[in-house]
Amino acid sequence: MTQVFAHVPLSTASRPTANALPIYLDNQASTRIDPRVLEAMLPYFTEQFGNPHSTSHPYGRIAAEAIEQARGEIAAVIRADPREIIFTSGATESNNLAIKGAAHFARAHPQRGQRRDHVITLQTEHKCVLESCKSLAEEGFEVTYLPVEPSGLVSLSSLAEALSERTLLVSVMAAHNEIGVIQPLAEIAALCRSRGVLFHTDAAQAVGKIPLDVEAMGIDLLSISSHKVYGPKGIGALYVRRRPRVRLTPLIDGGGQERGLRSGTLPTPLCVGLGRAAAIAGAEMAGEAERLLQLRTRLLKNLTRRFPELRLNGDADRRLPGSVNLSFPGVSAQQLIEAAPSIAISTGSACTSAVIEPSYVLRAMGLSDALANASIRIGLGRFTTAAEVDFAADVLTDAVSRLKGQGSTPT
């Protein structure tokens, strides 16, 4: 451990105490960096600070080698080739690059005179996917926003109907940030491939948490986030299939880094951090998924025993092990969060949660505004303990009971 960072605590203990920060149960918004990840990164901030593109000297070469190792670690967790991994500044950029990049390339290079200018996505996608599609719509592309089943899952038959000769890309989130449901990726990919359509999946929440295999599943483009998988913020990646080759028009051009798809000096420590995070998540996935599933079951059991009317939003089985979205009918989620300051939870995706409005995701699943406004998201993570889950259940029980007594009404 390098001395300049010597006072970074590498312990992960977070027990509830009177003045401590709340118990962190918002792991879909961001995760605490794993101490092992931080330790791997730190030397590349200090001793090995070289510019990885300055390969004329050892500082640059050491940095470049570390980046290539990280690229391999990231590829391994989704069973890709390292050459198919493009570093970006995060999943938002990856999603923008995948969607706009594929569309812009298709427009600039029509194949055999065939015009492909149609993109399909779900109404429940992350804002950055919806916004990327919106900007394509402003440029004259056609966008279909498919509704979802009440379970939050895509309807394969409506997807099949929506596909046309003009469709160039389908973008569907692998595991949902707000409700945790896992989409049938292989089935979607098979449909797309049969029609010659590219399939992109925003796997920010899924990578390192559920098994992903871009070959077996037939995924063409896959977005990866680092800070959702116990890595550093400010880095992400996009998987871009090589065979058959997926072509994109870059959003950021310049030095020609990342095979011309993403220019800019690669931030070595962040790349190393994402690589290590991916490797750890991959190695520990099976055991961790089991542990989180047990914790989730324990939490739900505790809460449903006290509140039989509690509603789990989204498919009960096809979901991330650590993620739940719950409605407490008759209780305002906003008031519930304020009434439970000793736990850090949220109503929906972090980037929109500063705005208080019913979740567009829950509404697309058919929830009433009243029920949507009574919903909270809980994200258990690597550092969540059974004691914390029990504590959270007690805190929520107490807060919900108090609010019900006060006659809280969802707004």
Partner 1 sequence: MSTGIAAGGSMRRRSIGAETYLDWNATTPLRPEAAAAMSAIFAGCGNPSSVHRRGRAARQTIERARETVAAMLGGSVEPSGIIFVSGGTEANHLALLGAGRERTLVSAVEHHSVLDAVANAEVIPVDGGGVVLLDALDRLLARDARPALVSAMLANNETGIIQPVAEIAALARKYGALFHCDAVQAAGKIALDAAGMGADLITLSAHKLGGPPGIGALAVTGQLALTPLFRGGGQERGRRAGTENLPGIAGFAAAAAVAVESLPDYDRIRMLRDTLEAGVAAAASDAVVIGAAVPRLPNTSAIAMPGVAAETQVIAFDLEGVMVSAGAACSAGKVGPSHVLAAMGVDPNLAASTIRVSLGWNSSEADVAHFLEAWTTLYHRRRGYLGGMRAA
Active site residues: 351
> 402 vs 30, 328, 375, 395, CA distance in Å?
29, 13, 17, 11
Which range of residues in 144-152, 168-176, 258-266, 320-328 is near partner 1 by CB under 8 A?
Answer: 258-266
DSSP assignments along 235-248, one per residue:
-EEEEE-TTTTP--
Number of residues that bind partner 1 (CB under 8 A): 79
Question: Where in 267-286 is the site for partner 1 (CB under 8 A)?
Answer: 267-270
Q: Biggest alpha carbon distance in the chain? A: 70
Least distance from C-beta 48 to partner 1, angstroms?
Answer: 8
The one among 69, 123, 257, 368 contacting partner 1 by CB under 8 A: 257
Q: Which of 313, 346, 359, 373 binds partner 1 (CB under 8 A)?
A: 346
Residue from 139, 186, 341, 357 in contact with partner 1 (CB under 8 A): 341
Sheet of strand 323-327: strand arrangement: 311-312, 323-327, 375-379
Contact flag: residue 17 with partner 1 (CB under 8 A) = no
Are the beta carbons of 118 and 293 closer than 8 angstroms? Answer: no
Which of 16, 36, 53, 370: binder of partner 1 (CB under 8 A)? 53
**127 or 404: whose CB is closer to partner 1?**
127
Does 379 help bind partner 1 (rule: CB under 8 A)? no
Pick the binder of partner 1 from 121, 124, 132, 332 (CB under 8 A).
132
Cβ closest to partner 1, residue 353 vs residue 401: 353
Beta bridge partners of 375: 327
The nearer residue to partner 1, 45 or 81, going by C-beta atoms, is 45
- Closer Cβ to partner 1, 4 or 316, answer by number: 4
Stretch that binds partner 1, among 48-56, 74-82, 110-118, 215-223 (CB under 8 A): 48-56
The pattern of x and - marking residues 146 through 175 that bind partner 1 according to CB under 8 A reads ------------------------------
CB of 252 to partner 1, least distance (A): 5
- Contact letters for partner 1, residues 25-44 (x by CB under 8 A): -x--xxxxx----x------
Question: 58: how many CB neighbours lie within 10 A of its CB?
Answer: 11
Among the listed residues 41, 39, 68, 40, the one whose alpha carbon sits nearest the alpha carbon of residue 53:
68
Name the β-bridge partners of 19.
Answer: none
Which of 229, 238, 222, 186 shows the shortest CA–CA distance to 205? 229
Which of 345, 365, 376, 389: binder of partner 1 (CB under 8 A)?
A: 345
Residue from 16, 55, 162, 404 in contact with partner 1 (CB under 8 A) = 55
Nearest-CA neighbor of 374 among 403, 341, 402, 405? 403
- Tokens representing 294 are 């047990």
Map residues 185-224 to x or -, x wherever contact with partner 1 holds by CB under 8 A: ----------------------------------------
Task: Please list every residue from 90 through 129 that binds partner 1, using CB under 8 A.
Answer: 90-93, 95-96, 126-128
Q: Cβ of residue 324: shortest distance to partner 1, in angstroms?
A: 17
H/E element, 146: strand 142-146
Candidates 21-29, 76-84, 288-296, 322-330; binding stretch for partner 1 (CB under 8 A) = 21-29
CA-to-CA separations, 377 to 158, 210, 290, in angstroms, rounded: 28, 19, 20
Here the contacts of 291-294 (C-beta below 8 Å, separation 24 or greater) are 292/321, 292/322, 292/380, 292/381, 292/384, 293/321
Confirm if 168 and 117 have CB atoms less than 8 A apart. yes
Q: Secondary structure of 81-99 in the HEC alphabet?
A: CHHHEEEECCHHHHHHHHH
